[in-house]
Amino acid sequence: MAGTDVLVIGAGVVGAACAYACTAAGLTVTVVDRGAIAGGTTSAGEGNILVSDKEPGPELDLALLSSRLWQDISADLDARCLEYESKGGVVVAGSAATATGLRALTAGQRAVGVDAVDLDQDELFQLEPNISRDVVGGALYRQDAQVHPMLATVHLLRRARQAGAVVRTGTTVVAFLRDRQGAVIGVKTDPADEFYARWVINAAGTWAGQVAELAGAPVPVLPRRGFVLVTEPLPRVVRHKVYTAEYLANVASDDAGLETSVVVEGTKSGTVLIGASRERVGFDRTFSLPVLRRLATQAIGVFPFLEKVSLLRSYLGFRPYCPDHLPVIGPDPRVPGLVHACGHEGAGIGLAAATGHVIAQLLTDQRPAVDLTPLRPHRFEEAAR
């Protein structure tokens, strides 16, 4: 079949953001996914757009850019369609020592452009009246926001389609097409078809490591399982995204075992989402009642009223984890024509807008808005030498 400028592997939120940004830049785009739109990690996400959980460095630079771009996207696509909500985040400290560490973090974040406000106990209670009286302080992050992940993905792809993009679901990539010099020029798929493109973007989420291996350019993206609880609809009892400072340590941890820390937030529908757990168990989808009990107990410790609230359901998903906790973004020098946009772990929804933006800049010979050197795809091979 005729070729396009860009072929995106993956119709999750990152792939959709790449398609959206590339079509906006004037490139022709085809998106393929072996499943449904937003059928993988995106469907199990909470929709977080966070700067609060990142220390100064390349990921925070990307998050600050993405925060601004999500505001632009919400204006372009209509915030109501995305359920975009700029509600802010609150991080709470349960001890004086934790509060001291949190203040050191916020000072460093403010130095690079984060709107972080240190809170004493009384200020925290004003922001979140239903929070436990055992917390000693915290921080307010006004830039933190939320979208509905599946709606955001659908509307990003809808806009890309309006600009001429083609989206093929139920289409599995089984091989890469190459020219005589070995550069990628497209893919073979099942059902049997061939798609040609100047660039192929690996935005396959937790399966991105397998796609990269198929291309002969491995990146160590692995699944990291997590559970979320969903309560019955409630009045506005949780005003921000609220999590404990321990969540920051779990995000940065390399431990393969189970780790849980409190994350609680309300949604526009009135339900309250409760997380977060992390464990590396491959793609094991076994339901774990002990994990759910631990999450519920920890959430009650922060918001005692939850003890009397009913749960509607729970669900699990897999975050695309990289060992250094940084995404993999940019062209792969080992295989010309291959571009990666993967490995975002639990930050994929928040970082999607910036990822698509910088990918489109690269493919149109513009200088990326952030330095992508720390995110280069071959950094793991370099470190192993």
pLDDT at 267: 87
Q: CA 171, CA 15: separation in Å to the nearest integer?
A: 14
pLDDT at residue 262, as a whole number? 86
Q: What pLDDT sits at residue 157?
A: 98
- Backbone phi, psi, residue 51, to 5°: -110, -20
At residue 46, the pLDDT reads: 87
Q: Rounded CA gap, 192 and 180, in Å?
A: 22
Provide the whole-model pTM.
0.95
- Residue-level pLDDT, tens digit, the chain, 385 residues: 569 999 999 999 999 999 999 999 999 999 999 999 999 999 998 899 999 999 999 999 999 999 999 999 999 998 888 999 999 999 999 889 899 999 999 999 999 999 999 999 999 999 999 999 999 999 999 999 999 999 999 999 999 999 999 999 999 999 999 999 999 999 999 998 999 999 999 999 999 999 999 999 999 999 999 999 999 999 999 999 999 987 665 555 566 678 888 899 998 889 999 988 889 899 999 989 999 999 999 999 999 999 999 999 999 999 999 999 999 999 999 999 999 999 999 999 999 999 999 999 999 999 999 999 999 999 998 877 6
pLDDT of residue 249: 58
- DSSP H helices, the chain, are 13-24, 58-77, 79-82, 96-110, 121-127, 149-162, 208-215, 246-252, 289-302, 348-363, 379-384
